[in-house]
Structure 1
């Protein structure tokens, strides 16, 4: 789970997920209200999750899977990704390069 570089607070899973749905590149610490940023390594790791939806869609089309089964697979994969995503986040107090 992410740990604030300013105050050392370890964020809960719920706090992390709520912070991920904000716009902008900074995440605000729920304890000290200081801006935190995802590290470059963390962004690289989590960027792989973006490919899950197109991969599931490709597999569904390639193998002729029923659309409802395809939708169910998509929803399950979304829930799994949202469940594990916060564990891959590392924070820093400095804004770094995007890649």
Structure 2
């Protein structure tokens, strides 16, 4: 789970999810209130995870799979994304 780069306290899944859903560049620790950033590798992993259901879209069309199944894939990905977040004190470019 995500841990603060300053105070080291582990964030709850709900706190991480709320901060990711805000789409801000900085993530504020719920405990010490200091702003921090996702590491470059964390940004890459979460981006790849979020894009992955879109890569499956042609399979859903080819095999006439149901729309609810595709939506379930997207929901699962969004629920798993907070588990991949790692934080740092400094902003780093994605590449």
Scaled by the length of structure 2, the TM-score of the pair is 0.88
State the match for 1:4 in structure 2.
4
Superposition deviation, residue 73 in structure 1:
1.4
- What runs of 5+ residues in structure 1 fail to find an aligned partner? none
Deviations 1:2-42 (A, max 9, x none): 10011111000001100111132111111111111110111
State the match for 2:38 in structure 1.
38
State the match for 1:18 in structure 2.
18
Over 6 Å off, 4+ runs: none
Scaled by the length of structure 1, the TM-score of the pair is 0.85
SS of equivalent to 1:56 = helix
- What runs of 5+ residues in structure 2 fail to find an aligned partner? none
SS of equivalent to 1:57 = helix
Instruction: Give me the CA root mean square deviation.
Output: 1.4
State the match for 2:85 in structure 1.
89
SS of equivalent to 1:37 = strand
